[in-house]
């Protein structure tokens, strides 16, 4: 049994997880409850106004998901409810505030005394919040009496648009990717503060402020060599953690493109539209007819349950002090050990949706052709300019001359073009990536799990993945069922 093979795995420990309603955190919570119900407590930070609201959101958005069906069947619904009631404590708070804005001083004091492990899996969305959120996690950890390790979930793409083999190395505070500038994080914070004051004085709507801050984030990222705000702020977060951690053991997990579960708790579970799934969704529904990458470009994908297993493996390895602090960054990736190519995904999509066509809302079968494969943004933009913009202009004129007879057709084409351009700009850094991720540290972590006979319970070796079988029989069916 899993529990007997993992005897002391987190037993008696109190764990704190941020971003508790997110995709990875849900898989993590389910895994812990399933393999180690003897942990002491599981504190979960949930964005909510009070404890009652946090519990409600946790039960509705986490416990009632399909993800927990295996555990529910294994121990029974009543026993699962009792386990959660006894061990799991949703805490109302917000990662963007110091001490997460936890207002209940009694709960906060208990957390400071009890927490052994912090796992930061929160995914903030605003440029003006992201790296400050990371520092808030570290400050909170320093106030906890027993915390020995903080696991921070970052992204492998902090490297920007790198080429060649990308090593598992840490950032130096102030380092930039273009090497022509110095990244002063205090300056970046001041730029944000000044911009927010300027926007506030203009009495703009929250949406207008969000758009303006998004544009600012892209400008600052580009200035220092990063392709987008997400990878830029993740890199700054890593820098600050490394610089400020002092005696705390810090583990940084850098996953690549996260896909649906490979095995646990069952294959194919996914939630929300991820990187590759945006194109799957658009292609299957007949909205898009293209993918990115030259035929041999590596698309680095890794199933969500493997990422979670790597997090738990790192906690065990560092908790037992198998490694020195210099080995605390892990690429959770597939490009070195089991590369997936753009042309493979192109064929998987075509074969799957040819055999399993989407039925639209009118009851009609959506027929797909082999998706086009663009190896650069220039080739994509030329294609749009040559084939779609002229057609849209013709439709616009015909629509005006015919008293809007072609209004629906015009709007549908406009929507397709807008979606194609938006997705191309958003995901270019990941799907037109020309590097691969070294995983020397991660391989040592896998070996450590093998030595203590936990490599099957905490499996995260991408070499076992048969990509065609995974996409055709697991990921694509899972995405169609749970996202479409």
Place of tokens 């060599």: 225
pLDDT band for position 460 (50/70/90)? very high
Can you give the pLDDT at residue 41? 96
Note the pTM of the prediction, 2 decimals.
0.91
Can you give the pLDDT at residue 288? 82
Can you give the pLDDT at residue 125? 53
pLDDT band for position 430 (50/70/90)? confident
How far is the C-alpha of 62 from the C-alpha of 46, rounded, in Å? 11
Q: What are phi and psi of 257, to 5 degrees?
A: -80, 115
For residue 470, count CB atoms less than 10 angstroms from its CB and return exposed for 0-12, middle for 13-18, buried for 19 or more.
buried
**Helix H or strand E encompassing 129:** none
pLDDT band for position 323 (50/70/90)? low
pLDDT in tens, 234-243: 999 999 999 9
For the chain, domain boundaries: 5-175+226-271+300-338+434-464, 178-224
Place of tokens 């703009």: 204
Provide mean pLDDT across the span 112-125.
Answer: 88
pLDDT in tens, 17-67: 999 999 999 999 999 999 988 999 999 999 999 999 999 999 999 999 999
Count of Cβ atoms closer than 10 Å to residue 257 Cβ: 22
Catalytic annotation, pick one of 41, 55, 195, 234 = 234
- Would you say residue 81 has pLDDT above 80? yes
Catalytic annotation, pick one of 43, 131, 230, 262 = 230
pLDDT in tens, 324-353: 544 599 999 999 999 999 999 999 999 999
pLDDT band for position 131 (50/70/90)? low
Six token digits for residue 421: 């351009």
Has 330 been annotated as catalytic?
A: no
- Would you say residue 408 has pLDDT above 90? no
Has 56 been annotated as catalytic?
A: no
pLDDT band for position 128 (50/70/90)? low
Kindly indicate whether the domain formed by 5-175+226-271+300-338+434-464 is annotated with CATH number 3.40.50.720: yes
Tell me the CA end-to-end span of the chain in Å, nearest whole number: 36
- In percent, how much of the chain has pLDDT > 70? 95
Dihedral sign computed on CA atoms, order 145, 325, 160, 376: negative
């Amino acid at each position: 049994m899993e529990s007997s093979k993992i005897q002391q795995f987190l037993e008696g420990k109190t764990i704190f997880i941020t971003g508790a309603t997110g995709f990875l955190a849900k898989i993590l919570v389910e895994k812990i409850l399933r393999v180690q119900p003897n942990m002491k407590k599981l504190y979960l930070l949930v964005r909510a106004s009070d404890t009652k609201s946090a519990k409600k959101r946790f039960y509705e958005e986490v416990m009632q998901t399909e993800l927990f069906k295996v555990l529910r069947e294994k121990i029974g619904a009543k026993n699962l409810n009792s386990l959660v009631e006894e061990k799991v404590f949703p805490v109302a708070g917000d990662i963007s505030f110091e001490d997460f804005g936890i207002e209940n001083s009694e709960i906060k004091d208990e957390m400071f005394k009890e927490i052994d492990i912090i796992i930061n899996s929160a995914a903030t969305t605003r440029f003006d919040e992201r790296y400050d959120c990371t520092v808030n996690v570290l400050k909170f950890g320093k106030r906890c009496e027993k915390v020995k390790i903080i696991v921070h979930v970052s992204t492998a793409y902090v490297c920007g648009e790198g080429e060649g083999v990308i090593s598992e190395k840490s950032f130096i505070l102030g380092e930039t990717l273009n090497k022509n500038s110095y990244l002063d994080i205090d300056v970046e914070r001041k730029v944000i503060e000044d911009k927010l004051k300027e926007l506030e004085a203009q009495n703009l709507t929250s949406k207008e402020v969000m758009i303006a801050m998004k544009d600012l984030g892209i400008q600052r990222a580009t200035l220092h060599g990063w392709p987008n705000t997400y990878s830029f702020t993740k890199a700054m977060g890593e820098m600050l953690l490394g610089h400020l951690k002092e005696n705390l053991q810090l583990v940084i997990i850098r996953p690549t493109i996260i896909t649906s579960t490979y095995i646990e708790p069952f294959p194919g579970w996914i939630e929300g539209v991820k990187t590759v799934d945006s194109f799957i969704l658009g292609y299957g529904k007949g909205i898009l007819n293209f993918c990115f990458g030259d035929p041999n470009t590596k698309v680095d994908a890794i199933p969500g349950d493997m990422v979670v297993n790597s997090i738990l493996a790192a906690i065990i390895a560092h908790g037992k002090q198998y490694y020195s602090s210099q080995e605390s960054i892990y690429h959770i990736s597939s490009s070195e050990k089991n590369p997936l190519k753009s042309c493979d995904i192109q064929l998987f999509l075509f074969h799957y949706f040819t055999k399993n066509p989407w039925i639209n809302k009118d009851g009609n079968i959506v027929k797909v052709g082999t998706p086009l494969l663009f190896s650069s943004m220039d080739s994509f933009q030329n294609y749009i300019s040559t084939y779609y913009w002229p057609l849209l202009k013709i439709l616009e004129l015909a629509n005006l001359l015919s008293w809007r007879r072609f209004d629906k057709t015009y709007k549908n084409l406009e929507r397709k073009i807008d979606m194609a351009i938006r997705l191309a700009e958003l995901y270019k850094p990941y799907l037109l990536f020309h590097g691969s991720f070294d995983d020397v540290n991660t391989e040592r972590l896998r070996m450590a799990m093998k030595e203590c006979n936990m490599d099957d319970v905490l499996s995260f070796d991408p070499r076992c993945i048969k990509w065609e079988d995974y996409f055709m029989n697991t990921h694509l069916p899972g995405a169609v069922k749970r996202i479409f």
